[in-house]
């Protein structure tokens, strides 16, 4: 203790108590404990940063309640991950702050194509973070599709599409009901030959969510524009299937639409 020499003599009647080794050890231990407490607290509060700055605008699984409630209610168990037949749901990593262990869907890699029919992830959720009010795929509102890059859209250029939608190495799955109603098939196993590219409309699991509209009155004009309608649930199948790279059509997650 260097300051012992500098401090003026202690007040009379209250001589400065010299700490013995044991008391010193205990004082150090208490200080260390306070430090450890603050450190643990600070480590926990780091989780605020990605959430408050909204670094990630994640597409949440079907039935997800509004983002803030969702993060509160989710117990991070991953039961939704386990029941998804196309393995569309992933759990976020530590860089997402309080989103750690919370499920999201990367639609471009693997969209939720409702291969399960009855929204299995919602049924699996033990906390209601995926709202149990939903029982049909049409009730879902995960986000909304948007033609983000019209210049890349083959249909808008009047072009067809021949070959594999996402190339031979793409690992994504999709329900091709005409091949097998129950087992989702690899997109890479299903070549297309289309006069006008309509993959987003053709493979959309929701009726009347997206339609191709002619771009002029001229019947010879083959150009078509994908128009998203209110029925769209934001499942991301169109984004996954779009052969343009990066996708011409993308999903705005509910968290983006909220703000």
Nearer to other proteins, 75 or 227 (CB): 75
Nearer to other proteins, 101 or 186 (CB): 101
Is 189 a residue that touches other proteins (CB under 8 A)? no
Please report, for residues 39, 51, 65, 98, the alpha-carbon distance to residue 47 in angstroms, rounded to integers and kept in the order given: 13, 7, 20, 5
What is the DSSP track for 93-134?
-GGGGGGTT-EEE-TTTS----TTSS-HHHHH-SSSSB-TT-
Nearer to other proteins, 86 or 156 (CB): 86
- Interface region with other proteins, contact rule CB under 8 A, candidates 43-51, 134-142, 165-173, 228-236: 43-51
Nearer to other proteins, 98 or 114 (CB): 98
For other proteins, which residue of 10, 19, 24, 36 counts as binding (CB under 8 A)?
36
- Alpha-carbon distance of 160 to 217, in angstroms, equals 20
Nearer to other proteins, 95 or 180 (CB): 95
Based on DSSP, count helices (H) and strands (E) in the chain, helices before strands: 9, 10
Is 245 a residue that touches other proteins (CB under 8 A)? no
Within 13 Å and on the Cβ side, how many CA atoms surround 194?
Answer: 22
From the CB of residue 138, how many other CB atoms can be counted at a distance below 10 Å? 14
Residue from 96, 94, 108 nearest 53 by CA:
96
CB of 59 to other proteins, least distance (A): 18
Place of tokens 């995926």: 130
For other proteins, which residue of 1, 4, 5, 43 counts as binding (CB under 8 A)?
43
- Interface region with other proteins, contact rule CB under 8 A, candidates 53-61, 92-100, 185-193, 213-221: 92-100
Contact between 249 and 237 under an 8 Å Cβ cutoff? The reply is: no
Q: Which of residues 113-152 bind other proteins (CB under 8 A)?
A: 124, 126-128
CB of 36 to other proteins, least distance (A): 6
- Alpha-carbon distance of 162 to 172, in angstroms, equals 18
Interface residues toward other proteins, by CB under 8 A: 29-30, 32-33, 36-37, 40-41, 43-48, 51, 68-69, 71-79, 81-83, 91, 93-95, 97-98, 100-101, 124, 126-128
């Amino acid at each position: 203790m260097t300051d012992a020499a500098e401090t003026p003599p202690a007040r009379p009647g209250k001589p400065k108590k010299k700490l013995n080794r044991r008391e010193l050890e205990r004082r150090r231990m208490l200080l260390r404990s306070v430090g450890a407490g603050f450190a643990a607290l600070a480590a926990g509060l780091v989780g605020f940063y990605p959430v408050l700055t909204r670094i990630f605008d994640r597409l949440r699984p079907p039935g997800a309640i509004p983002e803030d409630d969702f993060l509160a209610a989710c117990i991070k168990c991953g039961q939704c991950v386990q029941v998804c037949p196309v393995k569309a749901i992933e759990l976020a990593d530590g860089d997402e702050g309080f989103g750690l262990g919370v499920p999201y869907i990367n639609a471009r890699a693997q969209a939720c194509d409702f291969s399960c029919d009855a929204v299995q992830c919602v049924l699996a959720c033990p906390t209601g973070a995926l709202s149990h009010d939903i029982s049909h795929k049409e009730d879902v509102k995960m986000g909304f599709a948007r033609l983000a890059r019209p210049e890349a859209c083959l249909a808008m250029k009047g072009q067809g599409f021949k070959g594999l939608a996402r190339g031979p190495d793409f690992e994504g799955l999709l329900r091709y009901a005409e091949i097998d109603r129950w087992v989702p098939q690899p997109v890479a196993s299903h070549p297309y030959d289309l006069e006008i590219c309509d993959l987003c409309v053709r493979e959309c699991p929701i009726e009347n969510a997206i339609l191709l509209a002619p771009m002029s009155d001229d019947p010879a004009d083959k150009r078509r524009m994908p128009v998203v309608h209110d029925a769209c649930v934001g499942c991301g199948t169109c984004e996954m299937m779009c052969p343009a790279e990066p996708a011409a059509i993308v999903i705005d997650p509910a968290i983006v639409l909220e703000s």
